[in-house]
Structure 1
Amino acid sequence: MTAKTIERPAPSGTATPPRRRRRPRGEGLSTVLIHLELVLVAAVVIFPLLWVVGASLSPGDGLGEVSPFPSEATVDHYVNLFTETAYGRWYLNSLYVAVLNMAGSVVLAAVCGFVFSRVKFKGRKAGLLSILILQMFPAFLAAIAVYMLFLNFGLLDSLTGLALVSIAGALPYNIWLMKGYTDNLPASLDEAAAIDGAGRLTIFVKIILPLMRPMLTFVAITQFTLPWMDFILPRLVLQSADKQTVALGLFNMISSEYANSYTTFAAGAVVLALPITILYIVLQRYLVTGASAGAEKG
């Protein structure tokens, strides 16, 4: 007779070893391909940055002997940038326009997005349709109209006027962006606050606005970046040398037929990227927190 094997239960307190999950066939190959793709994309993005930084540290003015890793690095171009040009003035002008554009865009986008999403009023659909139509046209098509408006209202050669037109140009997109985000917030929050006696302003400031933080952060970063890098609009409305932005100043530095300060231009481009990098590092935690909160809520 064959003895039957009796399986005894594991003693209490003894952990059962987990079973190893078998990897599907081809999963290892797909992982390798994904990592290879990421490495290639990173190389394509990082190499131009290394080349610009290397050019800013290379001796001389031409680009003939520039390399990402110069053998004789120097910071003379950064020193010349602030001592022999008006780069500091250009930098402050660009910073003023970018900060004003960022602040105005965030405030108007938040308020208008809340109003179009939560408030029912006459002409709401017509207003949204008008904003959508305005969003379809490129900004440069309104160049002549912007110039005439600036001329009639005395805003030519004004940094504040440049910031105002930048805010207005990006407002349709920002309104639709904030409206779509606010539509996904539960209306029960508004109803519960209204039952407790809160008005629309209180609901917006204390309930909806904190929930808008991730999208407001995105708007702040993009609206700081756009005028910081813009060239066409400042070229159109700014005329004085002391009102030039960084984009105009750097362009004039190398636009002359006999100009060859390309390494100094590269140094200016590196310094130009610093505020955007710092702003993203400071604000990225709000983007990550907002994405995580949305995932947990879903």
Structure 2
Amino acid sequence: MSEKMHNIRRSRRIADLATHLFLAIMAIVWVIPIVWVVAESFNKNTAPFSSTFFPTEYTFDNYKKLFTETQVLNFPKMFMNTFIVAVFTCLISVAFVLMVSFALSRMRFRFRKVYMNVALILGMFPGIMAVVAIYFILKAMGLTDGSLTIVALIIVYSAGTGAGFYIMKGFMDTIPASLDEAAYLDGCTRWQVFTKIIIPIAKPMIVYQAIVGFLTPWLDFVLAKAIARTQDNYTVALGLWKMLEKEYIHDWFARFAAGAVCVSIPIVILFIVMQRYYQESMAGSVKG
């Protein structure tokens, strides 16, 4: 009996060792590209070709030139354009999804199921199919010229967010209706139930929606390329793409890596700031 237990323990140890070894290898494979990009952003050699995997000489000039030499590619303006679009899209998308999800989860009205089915079917089609139509609609409205392009990007990224309600609605469906009923008996209005009960409980999903709403315009290339026609209205995705064109790549490749690092910083900050909200539980709403 003891020998059998010993064999079982040895098998478990071997399995644990193999699992940890596999995870360590996968972690290294995942981390190496990130380390390389960060190292390349400090590379003194600005050309894309190098005889070594990691740079041999390092400098801060790539970051300095990225934000000071704006005659050819104005990266700071592109960064600010993207930040403005991402922040407004994040706020609008969270508001839209919350309101639509609450209405579909807590209210019963005609065409409710029809709307959900239509939204589900439309969500199966990739957004790239509508790029041409979206551009001509915006052009007809005069939103593709000058500073109005930023407004057009915000409208495009925010317009369809209300259709992405399924995850938020599914979460709200798990919130007991008895909480709503108790609040109504205490004299609360529907708006107070929404703001004082549903929203506090739904904080983890609000965080999820905020991250998605922020990352969509921050990382998107296709819609931004179709709508933004001049460098004054470029987003960082277009700016980084421009740096890799043949007339710029020899002098801008290291700055491209520096720009990639700069683009990742707001994403990291967003995750760090909002991470604690994932631990929110229903107890917080009951106390409120």
Alignment TM-score, normalising by the size of structure 1: 0.85
The residue that corresponds to 1:77 in the other structure is 62
Amino acid in the other structure paired with 2:271: Y
- Taking a change above 3 Å as real, the CA distance of residues 291 and 187 of structure 1, as seen in their structure-2 partners, is closer
The residue that corresponds to 2:94 in the other structure is 106
- Taking a change above 3 Å as real, the CA distance of residues 45 and 171 of structure 1, as seen in their structure-2 partners, is farther
Partners of 1:202 and 1:293 lie apart in 2 by: 18
Identical counterparts, % of pairs = 39
The residue that corresponds to 1:128 in the other structure is 116
Secondary structure of 1:193's partner? helix
Amino acid in the other structure paired with 1:178: M
The residue that corresponds to 1:223 in the other structure is 213
1:181 alignment partner, one of 151, 166, 171: 171
Alpha-carbon displacement from aligned partner over 1:218-251 (angstroms, at most 9, x marks no partner): 1111211111111111110112321111111121
Partners of 1:186 and 1:216 lie apart in 2 by: 18
The residue that corresponds to 2:273 in the other structure is 282
Partners of 1:189 and 1:101 lie apart in 2 by: 31
- Taking a change above 3 Å as real, the CA distance of residues 275 and 67 of structure 1, as seen in their structure-2 partners, is farther
- For residues 1-298 of structure 1, the aligned pairs below 5 Å read 25=9, 26-65=11-50, 69-85=54-70, 86-157=74-145, 158-173=149-164, 175-257=165-247, 259-260=249-250, 261-287=252-278, 289-290=279-280
Amino acid in the other structure paired with 2:82: S
Partners of 2:96 and 2:53 lie apart in 1 by: 43
Whether the 8 Å CA contact 1:54–1:67 is kept in 2: the answer is: no
Secondary structure of 2:280's partner? helix
Secondary structure of 1:255's partner? coil
Secondary structure of 1:65's partner? coil
Amino acid in the other structure paired with 2:154: A
Partners of 1:270 and 1:165 lie apart in 2 by: 27
- Which gives a bigger RCO, structure 1 or 2 (Cα 8 Å, sep 6+)? 2
Query: What is the alpha-carbon root mean square deviation over aligned residues?
Result: 2.0
Partners of 1:170 and 1:136 lie apart in 2 by: 14
Aligned residues: 271
What is the CA distance between 1:130 and its match in structure 2?
1.1
Amino acid in the other structure paired with 1:246: V
Alpha-carbon displacement from aligned partner over 1:248-293 (angstroms, at most 9, x marks no partner): 1121122134631211111111111100001101101111x13797
- Taking a change above 3 Å as real, the CA distance of residues 268 and 212 of structure 1, as seen in their structure-2 partners, is same
Amino acid in the other structure paired with 1:94: T
- Taking a change above 3 Å as real, the CA distance of residues 56 and 215 of structure 1, as seen in their structure-2 partners, is same
The structure with more radius of gyration: 1
Partners of 1:291 and 1:75 lie apart in 2 by: 45
Amino acid in the other structure paired with 1:57: F
Partners of 1:39 and 1:189 lie apart in 2 by: 46
Partners of 2:204 and 2:260 lie apart in 1 by: 29
Alpha-carbon displacement from aligned partner over 1:150-188 (angstroms, at most 9, x marks no partner): 012222141121111112234322x11111110011111
Whether the 8 Å CA contact 1:58–1:74 is kept in 2: the answer is: yes
What is the CA distance between 1:38 and its match in structure 2?
2.1
Partners of 2:103 and 2:53 lie apart in 1 by: 51
Partners of 1:128 and 1:238 lie apart in 2 by: 32
Whether the 8 Å CA contact 1:53–1:68 is kept in 2: the answer is: no
Q: Write out the 4+ residue segments of structure 1 that deviate beyond 6 Å after TM superposition.
A: 291-294
